[in-house]
Amino acid sequence: MKIGIACDHGAYEAKEAIKEMLIEEGHEVKDFGTYSTASCDYPDFAYACAKSVSEKENERGIVICGTGIGVSITANKVKGIRCALCSETTSARLTREHNDSNVLAMGQRTCGIEIMKDIVHTWINTPYSQDERHQRRIDKITEIEQK
């Protein structure tokens, strides 16, 4: 799978660990930065990653900051993005099954890196259910986005 990944300075360590895990699992990873722990602005990196998913350059995206809140808000501003902020595996599984989320947001300050790896693994490997009721709801979200 082609996966974009981005973070701010508060989540650099987590991004690097998750990127390494994804590459080891055979995924193609595009790193949108940041590339150090120097202070930076999360919208710059989250937007670039989300846009790559919206434009089909990447199949999915992962955005990380201190809490995951800022990057999730940013990613959800991009047309076609359904970004879910997850801090445990049940939500990661359900957002794929029910919402067909295409971007995952997490917070390094709110989750340990090993838990984040479990969340990513669950999210990457859970298929969308294709259930009619879930698709109907996703279609309604898309309609709202079109307005």
pLDDT, tens only, 62-110: 999 999 999 999 999 999 999 999 999 999 999 999 999 999 999 999 9
Mean pLDDT confidence for 24-48? 97
Q: State how far the Cα of 142 lies from the Cα of 30, in Å rounded to an integer.
A: 26
Fold type of domain 2-146: Ribose 5-phosphate Isomerase B; Chain: A, (3.40.1400)
Burial 1-35 (b: 16+ CB within 10 A, else e): eebbbbbbbbbbebbebbbebbeeeebebbbbbbe
| pLDDT the model gives residue 110 | 95
Q: Select from 55, 72, 77, 53 the least CA-distant residue to 2.
A: 53
Q: Centre a 10 Å sphere on the Cβ of residue 107 and count the other Cβ atoms it contains.
A: 22
CA separation for the pair 81, 46 (Å, rounded): 12
Task: Indicate the length of the chain as a whole number.
Answer: 147
Q: With bands split at pLDDT 50, 70 and 90, how would you rate the model's confidence at 139? A: very high
Catalytic residue flag (residue 65): yes
Average pLDDT over residues 115-142: 97
Residue 49 annotated to the active site: no
Instruction: Identify the active-site residue in 49, 65, 83, 111.
Output: 65
CA-to-CA distance for 64 and 8, rounded, in angstroms?
7
Annotated catalytic residue within 9, 27, 40, 98:
98
pLDDT at 8: 98
